[in-house]
Structure 1
Amino acid sequence: MENQPKLNSSKEVIAFLAERFPHCFSAEGEARPLKIGIFQDLVDRVAGEMNLSKTQLRSALRLYTSSWRYLYGVKPGATRVDLDGNPCGELDEQHVEHARKQLEEAKARVQAQRAEQQAKKREAAAAAGEKEDAPRRERKPRPTTPRRKEGAERKPRAQKPVEKAPKTVKAPREEQHTPVSDISALTVGQA
């Protein structure tokens, strides 16, 4: 027992419990409601295994029972289970109501955090000078009647009179280069 690895996080402890007690704990899917007083059963059954302390077990059990998976599993008509998966009675209405409230509060906290993150992103974008997501203006609906009959020829558009602007005279360039057709006539610096 001395050389067994110590489980460091509550998630590792939950994974160990799901492996050791598969009919009670689940790593995936909907979790089943646990027997009241299951902590003491856990302490008795896993005493000394994997160098688990009571504090680690209590912390892992708190994380497991406050997870959304577990709270979704606490519903009317559900049955509590012991470590071996044996039924240990139905849930009381007050426990179902408590789980529902906990789930609502957890969802509200997550939603508030998301809203806060979105606000921070908008502030950062505004500080950086980026255009904020402005609502688009509505377009006019397209006419339902066709403008011309299908298969009909197009009429030429009337040309608008184009006003010619007075032409500005450019100043002559000072140096004009003449193209050289004979390479042997080139001198240094000549383009």
Structure 2
Amino acid sequence: METTNKLKDINEVLEFLYQEYPNCFKAKDGIKPLKVGIFKDIAERIEGNETVSKTQVRQALRKYTSNWRYLESVTQNEFRIDLDGNQAEKIEQEHIEHAKQALEESRAKRKAAKPMNKGKRPPRREGGRDGAPRDANRGADTKSYKKRPFDKNKPHDKHAKVNTKPVEEAPVKRSGKVEPLPASEVKVNAKVKVKLGQALVNATIREVKNDEVFVELVTGMQVKTKADSLYFI
């Protein structure tokens, strides 16, 4: 039976890119912004490669370019690089501003996720408020709780009137209405938002082929999508 070494995990695909193009892709240190359209360059070089597919490469690039280390590199470098590590085009100011915004949003989410109380719990008291043993505080000076006698003429607690009306969830507040881009506005060089997973990313339409639209994200990455995934900015 013939076996295959097809990569299945996106992290494995990233490792493939690190090994195949070490002058371009870095795991941590030395990350630099990628050339616009670098996916096409990779697709040409892996043509016929049975280990990794173009779809996997596209997904790996999306993960790589959304990492905070990569976004920081966009704000700290002047030029992009190609697969061999050579200098490519200059980074546009729009891409820098997008990277800064994405970093701020990422840091805000991380900060909100941290627990509010970071301090240690105060040591448990060994005695009562006056320092005396807890048993010493129990006595005549402390009013003991007496259980209310059961009265069969009165309704049981479980029959007491309770509010059975379901609690209505507060409506989610939205910053603004996102409207789909009509077919008449799907034009080359139009500024749009493209839906990638659950996120909307700013992009520019670069090519339109029948029902397929090729857009350039503000990160510099080019992706293929459908017209119904485009929205007004």
Deviation at 1:27, TM superposition (A): 1.6
Specify the alignment match of 1:43 in structure 2: 43
Distance in 1 between residues matched to 2:3 and 2:34, nearest whole Å = 31
Write 1 or 2 for the structure with the bigger share of helix: 1
- Runs ≥4 residues deviating over 6 A: none
Amino acid corresponding to residue 59 of structure 2 in structure 1: S
Amino acid corresponding to residue 88 of structure 2 in structure 1: C
Specify the alignment match of 1:138 in structure 2: none
Specify the alignment match of 1:93 in structure 2: 93
Q: 1:77 and 1:31, CA in 2 relative to 1: closer, same or farther beyond 3 A?
A: closer
Deviation at 1:48, TM superposition (A): 3.3
CA contact (8 A) 2:74 2:99 kept: yes
Amino acid corresponding to residue 113 of structure 1 in structure 2: A
Deviation at 1:81, TM superposition (A): 0.7
Specify the alignment match of 1:114 in structure 2: 114
Specify the alignment match of 2:79 in structure 1: 79
Give % identity: 43
Structure 2 residue matching 1:88: 3-state secondary structure: strand
Write 1 or 2 for the structure with the bigger share of strand: 2
Deviation at 1:50, TM superposition (A): 4.8
Distance in 2 between residues matched to 1:39 and 1:74, nearest whole Å = 18
Amino acid corresponding to residue 71 of structure 1 in structure 2: L
Structure 1 residue matching 2:80: 3-state secondary structure: strand
Distance in 1 between residues matched to 2:104 and 2:20, nearest whole Å = 31
| Equivalenced residues, count | 122
Q: 1:47 and 1:113, CA in 2 relative to 1: closer, same or farther beyond 3 A?
A: farther
CA contact (8 A) 2:18 2:26 kept: yes
Q: What stretches of structure 1 of length at least 5 have no aligned partner?
A: 123-130, 135-191
Specify the alignment match of 2:59 in structure 1: 59
Specify the alignment match of 2:30 in structure 1: 30
Q: 1:132 and 1:90, CA in 2 relative to 1: closer, same or farther beyond 3 A?
A: same
Deviation at 1:76, TM superposition (A): 5.2
Deviation at 1:71, TM superposition (A): 0.8
Deviation at 1:11, TM superposition (A): 1.4
Specify the alignment match of 1:18 in structure 2: 18
Distance in 2 between residues matched to 1:99 and 1:111, nearest whole Å = 18
Specify the alignment match of 1:128 in structure 2: none
Structure 1 residue matching 2:30: 3-state secondary structure: coil
Distance in 2 between residues matched to 1:30 and 1:50, nearest whole Å = 29
Distance in 2 between residues matched to 1:89 and 1:44, nearest whole Å = 20
**TM-score between both structures, scaled by the size of structure 1:** 0.57
Deviation at 1:96, TM superposition (A): 0.7
**TM-score between both structures, scaled by the size of structure 2:** 0.47
Distance in 2 between residues matched to 1:3 and 1:47, nearest whole Å = 20
Q: 1:111 and 1:22, CA in 2 relative to 1: closer, same or farther beyond 3 A?
A: same
CA contact (8 A) 1:7 1:50 kept: no
Distance in 1 between residues matched to 2:4 and 2:84, nearest whole Å = 24
Structure 2 residue matching 1:85: 3-state secondary structure: coil
Q: Which string of whole-angstrom CA distances, capped at 9 and with x for unpartnered residues, describes residues 111-160 of structure 1?
A: 22223xx57x99xxxxxxxx9559xxxxxxxxxxxxxxxxxxxxxxxxxx
Structure 2 residue matching 1:51: 3-state secondary structure: coil
Distance in 2 between residues matched to 1:66 and 1:89, nearest whole Å = 20
CA radius of gyration, larger in: 1
Distance in 1 between residues matched to 2:62 and 2:74, nearest whole Å = 15
Q: What stretches of structure 2 of length at least 5 have no aligned partner?
A: 124-233
